[in-house]
Amino acid sequence: MKKVTVSTLLAKKQAGEKITSLTAYDTSFAKLFDEAGIDALLIGDSLGMVLHGQDDTLNVTVADIAYHTRAVRRGTSRAFVLADMPFMSYATPEQSYTNAATLMAAGASMVKVEGGQWLCDTVRGLVERSVPVCGHLGLTPQSVHVLGGFKVQGRQSDKAQQLLDDALALEQAGIQLLVLECVPTSLGRKISQALSIPVIGIGAGNGTDGQILVMHDMLGVSANYMPKFSKNYLAENGDLRQALQQYIEQVKSGAFPGPEHSFE
């Protein structure tokens, strides 16, 4: 199979073909996911919680993400590889340039940042310097203390409009992909339809252009708790490869996420 690029993901959106993605943190799982046909792999700062046992993602460093990005890249021959920019690694445009360069050198094909219109100058600067950028709106885990916990975002009409405005502004600034987390299904669909770039949902309903889950949640082995928006595919199949294949098939068909995994 051909190597997945940002152009591949855009073509999938335009064709109405769902994008499949998971987090990955090491070579073995990256190779397994890659061979199964997953479109994109994210080295998420979620590693702070699922690998390090922290209560949130804020302790993760650029060095941590770079280490795991190198490992994932070694196991990947076709999937698109994204890397999270951790907490306070892009507080200024200049910081973002240095830290993004580290992650791109480690093997990422794109970096992901959390936040709205305040990031537009940073996005423009990164893109001008040949760094592809993925945005992240809705529940942004790095802002968990400002948000007052891991809560659904965009339920009020003014908050929903702000998220749409942020998404459009970020697209105009140059992001080529957007992750939308924990928003009502109707808002996930509305933002996906308003943007020309692919929107990958996690707890955003099945109206987005694709789905991503933390691999530990998808396999039911998270140490803390199972989010409402996730599904334990391993419990249903009893075999890791079959669980992975079912996840891919259900995302592509639109069967996942169902109403029980979504918010209204």
Tell me what the mean pLDDT of segment 7-16 comes to.
98
CA–CA distance, 172 with 238 (Å, rounded to integer) = 45
Residues of the binding site for Mg(2+): 45, 84, 114
Residue 1: pLDDT over 90: no
Known binding-site residue numbers for 3-methyl-2-oxobutanoate: 45-46, 84, 112
Residue among 161, 150, 169 nearest 186 (CA):
161
The token duo for 145 is 């203390």
State pLDDT tens for residues 96-155. 999 999 999 999 999 999 999 999 999 999 999 999 999 999 999 888 767 776 789 999
d(CA 151, CA 37): 32
Residue 147 tokens read as 């948000």
Residue 223 predicted with pLDDT over 70: no
User: CA-to-CA distance for 25 and 213, rounded, in angstroms?
Assistant: 13
Q: What's the farthest any 2 CA atoms get from each other in the chain?
A: 48
Residue ranges for the binding site? Answer: 45-46, 84, 112, 114
For residues 17-25, average pLDDT? 98
Give how far Cα 36 sits from Cα of 127, 231, 242, Å. 31, 18, 10
- Supply the residues annotated as catalytic: 181
CB within 8 Å of 24: residues ≥ 6 apart: 30, 33, 41, 42, 43, 72, 75, 215
**In the predicted model, what is the mean pLDDT of the chain?**
95
Predicted confidence band at 224 (pLDDT cuts at 50, 70, 90)? low
Gap between the terminal Cα atoms of the chain = 38
Indicate the DSSP class of residue 207: T
Q: In whole angstroms, what is the distance from residue 259 CA to residue 245 CA?
A: 21
pTM value > 0.75: yes
The per-residue pLDDT for 139 is 92
| CATH fold for domain 6-261 | TIM Barrel (3.20.20)
> What DSSP character marks residue 135?
E
Higher pLDDT, residue 200 or 140: 200
Q: What's the pLDDT at 156?
A: 95
Q: Give the integer Cα–Cα distance in Å for 175 and 208.
A: 17
Check residue 144 and give its pLDDT. 79
Q: What angle do CA 24, 28, 33 make, to 5 degrees?
A: 55
Quote the CA–CA distance of 72 and 240 in Å, as a whole number.
18
Percent of the chain at pLDDT above 90?
89
Residue 43 near residue 81, CB atoms below 8 Å: yes
* Domain range summary for the chain, segments of one domain joined by +: 6-261
